[in-house]
Structure 1
Amino acid sequence: MNNQPSNTAILVFAQTAQADAVHKSIAYHQKLMAELNGHVLKTVRKSGLDYFHITESDQHGDSFGARFSNAIQSVFEKGYEQVICVGNDTPQLTTLHIFTAVDSLATGHAVNGPSIDGGYYLMGIHAHEFDAGSFESLPWQTENLATAYRELQEDIGIISDNLEPLMDLDSASDLYQFVKGKDSRKCLINIIKHIFDENSQVYATQSDRIYQIVFSSPLNKGSPTALAA
């Protein structure tokens, strides 16, 4: 897609790897979070859309909902009529998801990209349908978010299109489940193999079993499917 709409922008609402290391258990490996940040930014740049990466230094508000709502509003205040919101914890996010969201927004529909855990990895929002107060009050960072957001959209009369569900990575347990998925493994390996050289061996403790699965053999030799649990 070469000719992107000038009235649509992407909001990457994601903390730096250093900040994520404080708030997410998965982020005990800061290099992994840095690679995930790099992955989403590369994907966003490939879309050709204007984008804004709002990290903790630019976020304002006393809660996650307030900070997210304020970030979205700041993009609308720049003159954009649609915003596509993404985070840094969904390695399977591709430009196809973004282009599909652009097409749906062009029809006047909102876009929901649901996460398997009950949240969202992508939200496509029109400025004229954005109610900052209601948005801020949603049960953010809980498994009830998707249900509450759909109910809010229905109450307002918003028509939305759904993207395929994807898995996001918030904990070591999420990472373990992600690696077990046959369609997910190559994506993750391609990201994290940049972190370690070909001779790296990571020995897992009971609490870090994910590392045993991912790094039990050199990352750049053989097919990723060989790591199936």
Structure 2
Amino acid sequence: MTTAAPVAILLFTRSAAEEARHKRFVGHGPPGRNVSVAAQLIHHAQATAALAGVDVVCVDSSQQTGATFGERLADAMQQVFGLGYEQVLVIGNDCPQLAPHLLRQAVAAVRCGKTVLGPATDGGVYLLGISRRWFEQACWQALPWQTRHLGAALQQVCRQHKALVEFLPLLADVDNEQDLVRVLHQPLPRALRRRLRHICFAKPILRVSSSRRVRRLATTAQPHRGPPVTGTYC
């Protein structure tokens, strides 16, 4: 931790394999495509957070403790505050539209004592920024996480604490195939869009095994006096 930067970004995420088990991003093709999409989203979140100008703490599946999502997230937030940070911005891996300038805006807001909410189109949030003084672990873990009621519940908590709230632009989460198709038609970093489209829409390549290829070349290269011999095709 750096003393000049009391703000930390908490990237709260599953591993790519576990994320693919819970979410179906691609409804066709080999199962590995879902893992590949999840890996791209996680990598994008990590790269975006690294450009915000503050410390980044990643808490993945192997480091999370608790029976529910709320318990695991609240515990991760407590871990970050326990490192000495005064403000924490919580992000996940499922908002590919989240850009570095939005994170820097959120950093500036929490440094001024504000709570920051990045509302998602599904009723949740893609970013939550709070100060240590507003954090009560039991209260935060009991919120309706992973539901469309989360955004409203967070605003209610902020009103109860009389906290000043800064809202970021409304952005889309990606939790399934329909979400991914929609977000690919929204503004995205060019490289990320290209990689996601390649994973989702690339057609499998039919390959001829080397032994069959050699056999076919051998049969077509040699002339036959009798009836033609049937070749091997894929």
The aligned counterpart of 2:42 is 37
Q: Deviations over 1:25-49 (max 9, x none)?
A: 2275110110111111011112231
Greater relative contact order (Cα < 8 A, sep 6+): 2
Q: Is the 8 A contact 2:116 2:165 kept in 1?
A: yes
The aligned counterpart of 1:23 is 22
Q: Once the 2 structures are TM-superposed, how far is the Cα of residue 202 of structure 1 from its aligned partner?
A: 6.2
The aligned counterpart of 2:5 is 6
Matched, 1:179 2:178: no
Alignment partner of 1:65: what SS? helix
Unaligned runs of 5+ in 2: 206-234
Q: Which has the larger radius of gyration?
A: 2
The aligned counterpart of 1:190 is 194
Q: Is the 8 A contact 1:116 1:168 kept in 2?
A: yes
Alignment partner of 2:51: what SS? helix
- Relative to structure 1, the CA distance from residue 5 to residue 164 in structure 2 (aligned partners, 3 Å threshold; closer, same or farther) is farther
Alignment partner of 1:48: what SS? coil
Matched, 1:94 2:99: yes
CA distance in 2, matches of 1:193, 1:58: 31
CA distance in 2, matches of 1:77, 1:17: 27
Length-normalised TM-score, structure 2: 0.78
Q: Is the 8 A contact 2:119 2:126 kept in 1?
A: yes
Length-normalised TM-score, structure 1: 0.80
CA distance in 1, matches of 2:83, 2:189: 38
CA distance in 1, matches of 2:81, 2:92: 18
The aligned counterpart of 1:150 is 155
Q: Once the 2 structures are TM-superposed, how far is the Cα of residue 57 of structure 1 from its aligned partner?
A: 0.5
Q: Once the 2 structures are TM-superposed, how far is the Cα of residue 175 of structure 1 from its aligned partner?
A: 1.2
Q: Is the 8 A contact 2:87 2:110 kept in 1?
A: yes
Q: Once the 2 structures are TM-superposed, how far is the Cα of residue 157 of structure 1 from its aligned partner?
A: 1.5
Q: Is the 8 A contact 2:40 2:192 kept in 1?
A: no
| Identical aligned residues as a percent | 33
Pick aligned residue for 1:73 from 68, 71, 78: 78
The aligned counterpart of 1:138 is 143
CA distance in 2, matches of 1:63, 1:122: 19
Q: What is the aligned-residue RMSD (CA, Å)?
A: 2.4
Alignment partner of 2:25: what SS? helix
Pick aligned residue for 2:58 from 37, 53, 57: 53
- Relative to structure 1, the CA distance from residue 184 to residue 39 in structure 2 (aligned partners, 3 Å threshold; closer, same or farther) is closer
Count of residue pairs the alignment pairs up: 198
